[in-house]
């Protein structure tokens, strides 16, 4: 069994032709010095010629899971992980990789793995060079978009453990198999576009894990290479009267589902960067671990679609391996 599954997420809904960028990013992963990983392209509605180009270029070096159904990236990521696990068994961890990201350092996976194998961290996140959301998500306190200033504050003591209620844009993220095994999937899937990351600190804390943001890894990133939330435009949603923090997928309302008295009682919070729903800090210890057993069960029940809401086994796909 390989230790890590790297999932490179692509989308063709916007009809952009990004094969050249895909190939560059895939090569940056294949050039990793780490000796125990698989790379799978999780493709949502890319053109057949794009899939063929990747197969021709990387035959026998990568896996491809291609679906022509329209789903948010959280769903296609989850689905691809489950397809790979079905074929090859569990991995120790799963890397979510945005299509616009590259791995400039051949030692990235080697550097990330000790964090994973320590069992302390449910999520290990390298920084993107841009689109960081430091100021809103992590509350650095200055709004001039000065990333160097933010990094000076956040990383003055080394890597940054993200506290409950704080969040960070995760264009690359290594998720522990322990999270996947308990919750059933790697990423919450009730979101059509924004706000998934605002739940990550709670997913980790509920299982007595930490979410760590790494000081020494800043990755190149092309913003919205395949289009922002393609197929589920947050702009169109807002123009039609919706709210970015309540843009649900396959359910009526995110707020009705997770902003409740039950949520507060077990220590959950949501979109705290905008003070939408603040958690009860008394539910956490000095290590940012949740002290009760209710939070993990609440998250499992509420942040993930039921089989009746979305049956992953019925998602039509083609797996190249």
The percentage of residues in the chain with a pLDDT greater than 70, rounded to a whole number, is: 98
Angle at 208 between CA 36 and CA 40, to 5 degrees: 30
Q: What is the mean pLDDT of residues 93-106?
A: 97
Express each pLDDT in 184-240 by its tens digit: 999 999 999 999 999 999 999 999 999 999 999 999 999 999 988 888 988 899 999
Q: What is the pLDDT of residue 144?
A: 56
Instruction: Pick 4-320's CATH classification: 3.90.1150.10, 2.30.30.830, 3.90.550.10, 3.40.47.10.
Output: 3.90.550.10
Nearest Cα residue to 303 out of 265, 251, 226, 261: 251
CB distance 160 to 212 below 8 Å: yes
For the cut 70, the answer to whether the pLDDT of residue 279 exceeds it is: yes
- Quickly count: other Cβ atoms within 10 Å of residue 139's Cβ: 13
* pLDDT at residue number 145: 64
User: In which residue are the tokens 């000095």 written?
Assistant: 286
Tell me, what's the pLDDT at 141? 64
CB-based contacts of 117: which residues, under 8 Å, 6+ apart?
92
Q: How many CB atoms lie within 10 A of CB 235?
A: 11
Full DSSP string of 42-110: EEES--HHHHHHHHHHHTTT-EEEEE-S---HHHHHHHHHHHHHHHH---SEEEEEETTB---STTHHH
d(CA 127, CA 173): 9
Q: Are 92 and 176 in contact (CB under 8 A)?
A: yes
Mean pLDDT of the region 231-251: 93
- The span from the CA of 187 to the CA of 71, in Å, is 13
Q: Mean per-residue pLDDT for 293-301?
A: 98
Mean pLDDT is lowest, of 71-85, 124-138, 255-269, for: 124-138
pLDDT in tens, 20-68: 999 999 999 999 999 999 999 999 999 999 999 999 999 999 999 999 9
pLDDT of residue 229: 84
User: Residue 45 in contact with residue 135, Cβ under 8 Å?
Assistant: no
């Amino acid at each position: 069994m390989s230790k890590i599954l790297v999932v490179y997420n692509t989308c063709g809904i916007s009809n952009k032709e990004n094969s050249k960028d895909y190939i560059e990013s895939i090569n940056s992963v294949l050039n990793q010095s780490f000796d125990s990983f698989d790379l799978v392209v999780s493709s949502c509605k890319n053109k057949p010629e794009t899939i063929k180009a990747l197969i021709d270029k990387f035959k026998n070096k990568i896996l491809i899971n291609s679906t022509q159904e329209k789903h948010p990236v959280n769903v296609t990521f989850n689905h691809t992980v489950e397809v790979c696990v079905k074929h090859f068994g569990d991995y120790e961890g799963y890397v979510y990789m945005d299509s616009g990201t590259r791995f400039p350092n051949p030692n990235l996976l080697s550097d990330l793995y000790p964090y994973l194998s320590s069992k302390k961290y449910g999520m290990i996140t390298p920084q993107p060079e841009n689109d960081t959301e430091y100021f809103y998500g992590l509350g650095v306190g200055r709004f001039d978009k000065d990333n160097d200033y933010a990094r000076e504050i956040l990383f003055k003591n080394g890597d940054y453990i993200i506290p409950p209620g704080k969040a960070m844009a995760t264009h690359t993220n290594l998720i522990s198999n322990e999270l996947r095994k308990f919750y059933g999937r790697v990423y919450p899937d009730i979101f059509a576009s924004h706000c998934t990351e605002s739940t990550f600190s709670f997913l980790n804390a509920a299982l007595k894990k930490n979410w760590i943001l790494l000081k020494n890894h800043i990755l190149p990133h092309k913003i919205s290479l395949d289009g922002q939330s393609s197929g589920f435009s947050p702009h169109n949603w807002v123009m039609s009267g919706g709210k970015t923090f309540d843009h649900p997928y396959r359910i009526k309302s995110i707020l009705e589902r997770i902003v409740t008295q039950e949520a507060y009682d077990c220590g959950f919070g949501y979109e705290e960067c905008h003070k939408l729903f603040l958690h009860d800090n008394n539910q956490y210890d000095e290590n940012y671990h949740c002290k009760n057993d209710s939070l993990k069960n609440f998250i499992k029940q509420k942040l993930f679609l039921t089989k009746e809401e979305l049956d992953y086994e019925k998602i039509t796909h083609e797996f190249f391996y």
